[in-house]
């Protein structure tokens, strides 16, 4: 792979997915894109680049982008955001939505589905405490391949051992050979759609809760700002946004403000004169109470 090939791929990936590669990631390109090249009948990265220069859209271009995206995910990852979901977001939103009886949740960069399925299991465990409300959970990702895996709801022994409490494994999964299949009841609670975070969010509608964790770290600052501000426009005035442990809105946008006492949890930063319902603090929210860990 020539330096010119690498620079082309860096720009191509940034434009198509927002991924920013530093100057020393040639090894990553080689390891992830050589299989893509060979699948397309090409013998080298240079041949792949030559093909992309003449066909910037199509299966080869999509496969190139998908191969470079990171799809790391596991059940109840980092635990704290799921505690906030149960103890902070649900009590506040169910009280505020007493008439509508509907809460919409968006898991952006949902990967193979562990995050949205974790939320679905929490709701199922809460049972009658949330039975008066309808929940729509939407999982989106750039990669069609990982979304197909998410829709199938089938996981390896290694995947179900990462963060999933054993009582939930036994309750909501069925072992089939060397894999575990999530219960149709849980799988039916989540819908999946292909979505590029660089493109418009208008098609997914408005949400009360947005999980967009561990994905902004791969973007440059202008892209982070753009995504965060577009997410804000898709949220209810009293909605919640959840970021990853290493992510923040500080220095990027004033569209959100932290929820006091709840690390990684944010709400829309409304004007003081707004008629919208004021944010509940994490410390002041009443608890619903369910054990998931």
So which residues are the catalytic ones?
Answer: 32, 141
**Closest residue by Cα to residue 150 from 178, 119, 126, 104:** 119
Distances (CA, A) of 266 to 10, 27, 31, 88, 231: 32, 37, 37, 11, 12
Quote the distance between the C-alpha of residue 258 and its chain's center. Answer: 19
Q: Which two tokens stand for residue 85?
A: 């979901």
**Separation CA 277–CA 273 (nearest Å):** 11
Exposed/middle/buried for 154, CB within 10 Å: 0-12, 13-18, 19+? middle
**Separation CA 154–CA 209 (nearest Å):** 26
**Separation CA 102–CA 104 (nearest Å):** 7
């Amino acid at each position: 792979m020539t330096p010119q090939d690498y620079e082309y791929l860096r720009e191509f990936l940034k434009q198509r997915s927002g991924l920013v590669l530093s100057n020393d990631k040639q090894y990553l390109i080689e390891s992830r894109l050589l299989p893509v090249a060979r699948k397309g009948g090409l013998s080298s990265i240079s041949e792949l680049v030559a093909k992309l220069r003449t066909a910037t859209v199509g299966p080869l271009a999509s496969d190139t982008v998908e191969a470079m995206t990171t799809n790391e995910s596991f059940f109840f990852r980092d635990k704290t955001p799921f505690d906030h979901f149960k103890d902070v977001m649900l009590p506040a939103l169910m009280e505020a939505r007493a008439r509508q009886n509907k809460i919409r949740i968006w898991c952006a960069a949902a990967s193979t589905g562990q995050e949205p399925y974790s939320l679905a299991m929490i709701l199922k465990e809460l049972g009658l405490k949330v039975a008066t409300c309808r929940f729509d959970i939407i999982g989106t990702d750039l990669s069609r391949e990982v979304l197909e895996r998410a829709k199938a709801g089938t996981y390896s022994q290694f995947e179900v051992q990462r963060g999933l409490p054993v009582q939930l494994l036994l309750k909501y999964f069925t072992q089939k050979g060397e894999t575990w299949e999530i219960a149709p009841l849980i799988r039916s609670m989540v819908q999946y759609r292909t979505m590029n975070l660089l493109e418009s969010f208008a098609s997914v509608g408005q949400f009360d809760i947005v999980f967009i964790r561990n994905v902004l770290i791969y973007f440059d600052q202008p892209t982070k700002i753009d995504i965060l501000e577009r997410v804000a426009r898709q949220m209810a005035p009293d909605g919640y946004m959840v970021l990853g442990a290493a992510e923040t809105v500080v220095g990027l946008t004033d569209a959100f403000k932290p929820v006091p006492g709840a690390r990684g949890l944010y709400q829309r930063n409304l004007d003081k004169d707004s008629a919208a319902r004021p944010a509940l603090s994490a410390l002041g929210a009443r608890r619903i109470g369910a054990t998931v860990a």
